[in-house]
Amino acid sequence: MLRRIYDWCIAAADKPYALWLMAAVSFAESSFFPVPPDIMLIPMALARPQRAWIYAMVCTIASVTGGVLGYAIGALLYDSVGQWLIQLYGYGNQVDAFRASYAEYGAWIILLKGLTPIPYKIVTITSGFAGYDIWLFVLFSVITRGGRFFVLAVLLNRYGATIRHHIEKRLGFWVTIGAIVLVLGFVAALWLF
C-alpha cells in the first residue's frame, strides 16, 4: 500500500491537478487537517527536481493562506467554543497571562514552531485566539513556512537522485520515521501548549 501511494505521488507530478491537490493539502494542514504537505511535496519534487522551487512556492502560499483561516478559527470561535473549553480545563483565570506572554513571545513561537513537526494549525489557531497582530502573523508565517518548504526544495533539487534511491530502497522505514515525527509533533504540541 505504501508503495502504491508513493508511486501515485511520483506519477502525480506530471498531472495537471497535482499542484492544486498539493495546495489543498497544504492549505488544510495549516488550519484543520492532520497530514502535512510533505507527503506530496517530497515525492513530487523527487520525480521532477527542477520543479521543486515551484512546489515549495505553492506549499508556502497555500500554507500561509490556510494559516489565515486557522487564525480566524482561533479569533472568531473563541467566544463560542474556545472560552467554554478553557473553563472546562480550568484555565479560565490564566487567559490574560497567556495572551500577555504570547504578545511578548509570539514572534518566536510562530518562527520556531513553523519549522518543527509540531502541527502548524496549533500555531495558527493559537495566534488568532491570543489576538496576535494578523500582519505580523502573516509575515512570520511566510518566513517560517517558506523557509521550511524551500529548504526541502534545495535538498531535493540538489540531492534528489540520491534521496530518491534511499527512500525507494527503504520506503517502509522512512514512512515509519515520518509517522513517528508527526506523532511526536502532536505530543509536543499538547505538552507545550
* pLDDT tens profile 80-120: 766 665 565 555 666 677 777 788 888 888 888 777 766 78
Contact present, 129 and 82 (Cβ < 8 Å): yes
Euclidean distance between the first and the last CA atom of the chain, given in angstroms as a whole number:
35
Threshold 0.85, pTM exceeds? no
pLDDT reported for residue 37: 86
- To the nearest whole percent, how much of the chain has pLDDT over 90? 24
Which residues have C-beta within 8 Å of that of residue 99, sequence separation ≥ 6?
130, 131
pLDDT mean over 159-174: 71
What is the reported pLDDT for 115? 73
Per-residue pLDDT for 179 more than 80? no
Q: Which of the four pLDDT bands, split at 50, 70 and 90, describes residue 188?
A: low
What value does the mean pLDDT of the chain take? 80
Lowest mean per-residue pLDDT among 23-37, 39-53, 89-103: 89-103
Q: What is the pLDDT of residue 69?
A: 92
Question: For 18, how many CA atoms within 13 A lie in the half-sphere containing its CB?
Answer: 22
Query: Residue 87 contacts by C-beta under 8 Å, 6 or more apart in sequence?
Result: none
156 pLDDT higher than 70:
yes
Instruction: Answer yes or no: is pLDDT of 130 > 70.
Output: yes
What span, in angstroms and rounded, lies between the C-alpha atoms of 112 and 104? 14
